[in-house]
Homo-oligomer: A and B are copies of this chain.
């Protein structure tokens, strides 16, 4: 096994042995990081019973790593992963025992249309409950953690992404669930048009998809949103609308 990533991701090396794509020892290489994060997410009750998934695009070589369908997320090994080419049109490496996740077309849509570097999909109960108490979009206002989420605007001088402000309202669209995950592709594309700046979407009675330019960002967005959904449910149960103006809490 070699740590030479240039070699491991080289076209000729992949042709000779597709398993080169999963041979890196770097814990931050997608092949290793997907497994670490799936185990962590399992313990958050986000991926029990084989639910949920993660896909990461290698930041240098653009190979796409995807967790397979039906695997216990807390025991997943890098040998279980699929690897696709840069736009997901070709499978470069397959595991022995599994078939590709039904989420693969959804992940591809996020990679290709939203230029995502990683997508996290969980069955978080906070997302499911929010999809039951909110109608078309999840809304929460004036909570510090909102500042972890990008506004979609860019600083004209530095070119850097501008985050939401404490005084903003975070809005995450909710789409209807279908019998099979691949039937959700059209709804994903509609969301991309209607909410061009959103970095997440909730699927009613199912879970949430969160993406970002890197896996680090996607993980931070996902944690912040999950925290905010948990908080919104508590506010709702206390009779405080999660998107009410500051100072209006006492009215409820």
Assess whether B135 is in contact with A123, with CB atoms less than 8 Å apart. Answer: no
**Residues of A bordering B, CB below 8 Å:** 45, 48-51, 72, 123, 125, 128-129, 132-133, 135, 142-145, 148, 165-167, 176-179, 203-207, 216, 219-221, 223-224, 226-227, 230-231, 234-235, 237-238, 240, 246, 249-250
Contact indicator A224/B48 (Cβ below 8 Å): yes
Q: Please measure, in the bound complex, the distance between the C-alpha atom of A227 and the C-alpha atom of B207, giving whole angstroms.
A: 13
Whether B234 and A50, one on each chain, are in contact in the complex, defined by CB atoms closer than 8 angstroms, is no
Query: Quick one: which of B50, B223, B238 contacts A49, CB cutoff 8 A?
Result: B223
- Tell me if A128 and B143 are in contact (CB < 8 A): yes
Complex: how many Å from CA A123 to CA B231? Answer: 11
29 contacts between A and B (CB under 8 A): A45-B227, A48-B226, A48-B227, A49-B148, A49-B224, A49-B227, A51-B148, A123-B145, A125-B227, A128-B144, A129-B234, A129-B235, A129-B238, A132-B235, A132-B238, A133-B238, A135-B250, A142-B177, A143-B205, A144-B177, A144-B205, A144-B206, A165-B179, A166-B206, A167-B179, A176-B246, A205-B246, A237-B237, A237-B238
B residues within 8 A CB of A204?
Answer: 246
- Residues of chain B lying within 8 A (CB to CB) of residue A148: 49-51
Contact A125 B231 (CB under 8 A): yes
Contact A220 B49, beta carbon cutoff 8 Å: yes
Give complex CA distance A207, B133 in Å: 25
Main secondary structure on chain A at its contact with chain B? helix
Copies of this protein in the assembly total 4
Given contacts A51-B144, A128-B231, A176-B246, 5 further A-B contacts (CB under 8 A): A48-B223, A48-B226, A49-B223, A144-B205, A166-B205
Nearest CB to that of A48 among chain B residues?
A: B223
**Roughly how many angstroms separate A68 CA and B67 CA in the complex, as a whole number?**
33
Please list the 4 inter-chain residue pairs (A to B) with the smallest Cβ-Cβ separation, ordered nearest first: A49-B224, A144-B206, A49-B223, A48-B223
Complex-state Cα separation, A144 to B53, whole angstroms: 14
B50 contacts A220, C-beta separation under 8 Å: yes
Query: CA–CA, A199 to B226, complex, Å?
Result: 30
What are the residues of chain B within 8 A of A144 when measuring CB–CB?
A: 51, 123, 128, 177, 203, 205-207
The residue that A145 contacts in the complex, of B51, B142, B220, B231, with Cβ under 8 A, is: B51
Q: Within the complex, what minimum Cβ distance (angstroms) separates A168 from chain B?
A: 10
Find chain B residues with CB under 8 A from A179 CB.
165-167
